Structure 1
Amino acid sequence: MTGTPDFLHATQTSYDAIARPYTERFADWLGDKPLDRALVTSFAELVRANGAAPVADVGSGPGHVTARLHALGLAVFGVDLSPRMVALAREAHPGLRFHVGSMTSLDLPDATLGGVLALYSIIHVPDEHLPTAFAEFHRVLVPGGHVLLGFQSGDEDDRMRLTERFGREISLDYHFRAPAGVADLLVKAGLRVEARVLREPLEEEKRPRAYLLARKAD
């Protein structure tokens, strides 16, 4: 990805390296998390109630959440930085559309999406680039369109870098943020925050999970 910010290149190459074991490990992480599933289902209902515009699953990875949204009746497609992840998602879900792209520069026309889902993908976006991503979400949404974010909660400047995962060499930064700070950035991008959920860690999870639901004004 010549000419793009370093974090995009590092994220892309890291997920390309671990795509297969990651897909095997997280084939359907929503399957055993009723609360998380309920939030995704609620998001789908809100999108349907606002019309028939399609939804982008940004950071779609193996594509299982994209497939779940499709099963909930949405016209949905997946976007991911990693070409290898996109290839595996297409292989697993041949009836759905997936393409390579970045949330900081979505290759989509203005006001064409009914919803944007970004579950555990903003965690790889540095603070200085997050306003750009949220501005893109606002740009591509139709009036009344919704955004659902999911991310690990943390304190200010709470981050880590992994250099190995699944036995593969990577260079992947994780940014953990307080929900209030992320909510403020959504508001500055022109999105109204309608719900905030913070759940405690489950089983092997080490951090609370935050969900923010926001809406573009009519």
Structure 2
Amino acid sequence: MTDSETTDFIETTRTSYDAIAKDYSAAHADLPTQPVDMSLIGAFAQLVKANGTAPVADLGSGPGHITAHLHGLGVPAFGIDLSPAMVALAREAHPGLRFHQGSMTSLDLPDETLGGILALYSIIHVPDTHLPAAFAGFHRALVPGGHVLLAFQKSEQPGLHITERFGHRIDLHCYWRPAYVVSDMLVKAGLEVAATLIREPLDQEKWPRAFVLARKPA
């Protein structure tokens, strides 16, 4: 992938979420209702706390509701989102927490400063060619023993291209992957996969959900 294609991928994702930020935040401001999802987030929080007091970065934090939930569980957490409009809305909704603009593909964070990384349905916008470098960045930023929890749509199909949402014209690519592909990339980045869970679609969902929990060796 060329430099211009890389720029296009970041820019189109950013501008697409900027366009739908208010509507997306209104539709996704509540916590997930699925008990399995919430249990996994809770288990992740417990693992992070057991390993020390380093903070969690919620990557693709959107409206900030998951960041706030982690804070409520006693985990110091902050949000990073590619969209400045999303960051502004998260700051407005959760003024006591920290949110800033950034990309998981180039984490602007010091080495070994994060106790955990949470990325719920945000790696789906990163092309396969960029995930290995992103996961290497996760490994660099995590403290020894730090954990990663990823959630994404699981499919053998390549994904889809969304051109309209909430009445707005957008240019958003979503990449579906089997869980083993993501796990293999994490291992190659130096992380240990601790658990993989596949949840079947519920309610209006169309694809199974994959959750992968990984750990940086202590």
**Structure-1 separation of matches of 2:105 and 2:91:** 23
Please identify runs of 4+ aligned residues in structure 1 that moved more than 6 A: none
Partner of 2:169: 169
1:208 and 2:182 aligned = no
1:106-121 equivalences in 2 (<5 Å): 106-121=107-122
Match of 2:15 in 1: 13
CA distance in 2, matches of 1:74, 1:120: 20
Partner of 2:87: 86
C-alpha RMSD of the superposition: 1.1
Distance in structure 2 (CA, Å) of the matches to 1:119 and 1:41 = 14
Distance 1:106 1:86 in 2: 16
Shift of 1:26: 0.8
User: Would you say how many aligned residue pairs link Structure 1 and Structure 2?
Assistant: 215
Secondary structure of 2:105's aligned partner: coil
Q: Deviations over 1:10-67 (max 9, x none)?
A: 000000000000011111141x111100000000000000000011000000000000
> Aligned equivalents of 1:186 and 1:61: distance in 2?
23
Instruction: Return the alpha-carbon distance in structure 1 between the equivalents of residues 146 and 7 of structure 2.
Output: 28
Whole-Å Cα distance in 2 between the matches of residues 51 and 12 of structure 1?
33
**Segment drifting more, 2-11 vs 97-106:** 2-11
Aligned pairs for 1:181-196 within 5 A: 181-196=181-196
The DSSP-based 3-state class of the residue aligned with 1:150 is strand
List runs of 5+ in structure 2 lacking aligned partners.
none
1:180 corresponds to which residue? 180
2: CA distance, partners of 1:94 / 1:60: 14
Aligned to 2:66: 65
Identify unmatched segments of 5+ residues in structure 1. none
TM-score with structure 1 length normalisation? 0.97
1:128 aligns with 2:129: yes
Please point out which of 11, 28, 31 is paired with 2:30. 28
Partner of 2:199: 199
Counterpart residue identity of residue 75, structure 1: P
Q: What is the letter of the counterpart of residue 15 of structure 1? A: Y
Letter in 1 for 2:111: D
Q: Percent identity?
A: 64
